[in-house]
Amino acid sequence: MQQQTLAIIKPDGVARNLIGEIIGRIEAHGLRIQAMKMIHLSKTQAEAFYAVHRERPFFQSLTDFMSEGPVVSMILSGENAIQVWRDLMGATDPVKAAPGTIRRDFGQSIERNTTHGSDGQETAAFETAYFFSQIESVN
Ligand code: CMP
- Report whether 14 contacts 71 (CB < 8 A): yes
Confidence of residue 9 (pLDDT cuts 50, 70, 90): very high
What's the pLDDT at 18? Answer: 99
Ligand 1 contacts CB of residue 137 (under 6 A): no
Do residues 33 and 27 lie in contact, with contact meaning Cβ atoms separated by under 8 Å? yes
* Ligand 1 pocket member 46 (CB < 6 A): no
Q: What is the pLDDT of residues 79-103, one digit of tens each?
A: 999 999 999 999 999 999 999 999 9
Average pLDDT of the segment spanning 41-46: 98
Domains, the chain, in order of start with CATH, read: 2-132 (3.30.70.141)
In ligand 1, the atom with minimum distance to the C-alpha of 8 is 3
Are 50 and 67 spatial neighbours (Cβ–Cβ below 8 Å)?
Answer: no
pLDDT given for residue 23 in this prediction = 98
Q: Which of 72, 77, 71 lies closest to 27, judged by CA? A: 77
CB of residue 92 inside a 6 A radius of ligand 1: yes
> Among 59, 62, 108, which residue has the most ligand 1 atoms within 8 Å of its CB, making it the best to mutate?
62
pLDDT at 139 over 80: no
Q: Is the CB of 119 within 6 Å of ligand 1?
A: no
pLDDT range class, residue 71, cuts 50, 70, 90: very high
Residue 14 contacts residue 69 (beta carbons within 8 Å): yes
